[in-house]
Amino acid sequence: DQQVKQNSPSLSVQEGRISILNCDYTNSMFDYFLWYKKYPAEGPTFLISISSIKDKNEDGRFTVFLNKSAKHLSLHIVPSQPGDSAVYFCAASARMTGYSTLTFGKGTMLLVSP
């Protein structure tokens, strides 16, 4: 039972263009969402997050959009750079439970070519 789904295993984008990574969730208790970036042989690195009370959060080249009614979020990277090539994980948390464990998707491998 996958509660967080990233249906695209991989995505290829040209440098300078927009990268859009998608994530769907099924658990209505999730109220906080995060994106992590992971390079091989390293742990995941926190990228950006969004609370369920918002529909957009921006940090530099990275923007996360949340559509609660569709239980869908997306990460936009503009402009994409070759150094962005990594695996991106979407994660969700139910903070109302009092402790926050993260439920991750399977990840999307992004390849940005020069």
Partner 1 sequence: DAGVTQSPTHLIKTRGQHVTLRCSPISGHKSVSWYQQVLGQGPQFIFQYYEKEERGRGNFPDRFSARQFPNYSSELNVNALLLGDSALYLCASSLGSGSTEAFFGQGTRLTVV
Enumerate residues 22-81 that contact partner 1 by CB under 8 A. Answer: 32, 34, 36, 41-46, 49
Closest CA to 26 of 49, 2, 8: 2
Among 25, 105, 110, 112, binds partner 1 (CB under 8 A): 105
Single out the segment in contact with partner 1 by CB under 8 A; choices: 12-20, 57-65, 68-76, 94-102.
94-102
Nearest distance from C-beta of residue 106 to partner 1, angstroms: 5
Euclidean distance between CA atoms 111 and 114, whole angstroms = 10
To partner 1, the closest distance from the beta carbon of 50 in angstroms equals 11
CB of 19 to partner 1, least distance (A): 19
Residue among 1, 9, 46, 44 at smallest CA distance from 25: 1
Count the neighbouring beta carbons within 10 Å of the beta carbon of residue 20.
16
CB of 41 to partner 1, least distance (A): 7
Kind and range of the H or E run holding 65: strand 62-67
Strand-pairing partners, residue 37, are: 45, 88
- Check binding of 102 to partner 1 (CB under 8 A): yes
